[in-house]
Amino acid sequence: MSCFAGLTASAPVASGLADRGKGRGRVYANITETVGNTPCVKISEEICPKGRTIYAKLEYFNPLSSVKDRLACAIIEDAEKKGQLKPGDTVIEATSGNTGIAVAMLCAQRGYKCVITMAEPFSIERRKLMRFMGAKVIITPKAGKATGGFAKAKELAEKNGWFLCRQFENEANAEFHYKTTGQEILNDFEGMKLDYYVLGYGTGGTFAGAGKAIKEKRPDVKICLGEPADAPLVASGTKTERNADGSATGSHPAFKPHPIQGWTPDFIPQIAEKGILDTGYDEFVPIPGQAAIDMSQALAKTQGIFTGISGGASMYAAVEMAKKAPEGSVLVAMLADTGERYLSTPLFASISADMNEEELAISKSTPNFQL
């Protein structure tokens, strides 16, 4: 019997509004100190299957609105400790957007120059955000996929002597999640029932690091890994071929383009592979792209939770897992970023900037100030 068998799914008795107005009891020396300590929020039965409890860990509470703020802190702080960065240096990384935005934040705060490579299919607003933060953004051809963007970043780093973040191989990534994300979940659910930890993988840092931390302290918690149905890289059982530095030699044969930006590049990252080997996962959920989009929209309209397509994917996986989990099960799902990163993507394709017929009728129901 689990030592947590007698614990309940309910949070400790306290008003959810009791700490309003208290502040944080401290001030911050710079923006990077605000990274982490994101909240876990309960999902209502409009989405959560009856008899189960789902919480969403909302990573868009980070200062630049995504889980990748943690990764940027991890890599830059680690490089500084090792003497790999000095004032005025240039940092370069390839990204689907959120990592680049987070790295641009760290570079702006620290005074480093920042160059980002990104494949052309990713959303326009991500390019603009990085440039707004002072980064130079180099767009690579769609045909090259993610591996092309990373090859370009490596090429530029080698030519110019720039610091390459190597988010997919850099072990500081997973270690930061072990020390922060995983510990936050353990602390937030201390004295409470927790049965499943649900997430997908981009670099694999959250999966490998937080998953390891949770499994060490609460081994009965099952890790549920999600993956795009259109890109079943892990599900295929085929390994990614690697260069000596751990980077992928090319695209994985099971990869096909999918709309879940930030998840599952066209290779299995080395960090994710190590996480699978070292910690593993207990459950697996393939996620159709449209289902992820639909769930993101449902979270906004029924919960007031504004997350991107990857957040919708995580919640879809949590709901599917909850459907087959024993009654009384408690799940926590990682919601990686904000919906504002997706205004030019299929997530907002059905959302018009102009008034629809219902809105026009409301406008015309009173006589004044009509367009």
Catalytic residues: 68, 310
* Number of C-beta neighbours around residue 159 at 10 A: 8
Q: Give the 3-state secondary structure of residue 230.
A: coil
Structural tokens at position 200: 């997908």
Structural tokens at position 45: 């039965």
Report the C-alpha dihedral over residues 340, 169, 79, 115, rounded to 10 degrees. Answer: -50
Residue 152's contacts (CB-CB under 8 Å, 6 or more residues apart) are 94, 117, 138, 140, 144
> Which candidate, 68, 75, 53, places its Cα nearest to that of 8?
53
Alpha helices in 8-139 (DSSP H): 68-81, 98-110, 124-132
Q: What is the DSSP letter of 243?
A: -
With beta carbons less than 8 A apart as the criterion, state whether 141 and 120 touch.
yes
Residue 297's contacts (CB-CB under 8 Å, 6 or more residues apart) are 312, 347
Rounded Cα–Cα distance for residues 113 and 101 (Å): 13
* DSSP string for 250-289: S--TT----S-TTS--SS--HHHHHHHHHT--SEEEEE-H
Rounded Cα–Cα distance for residues 214 and 165 (Å): 26
Q: Give the 3-state secondary structure of residue 28.
A: coil
Rounded Cα–Cα distance for residues 188 and 198 (Å): 16
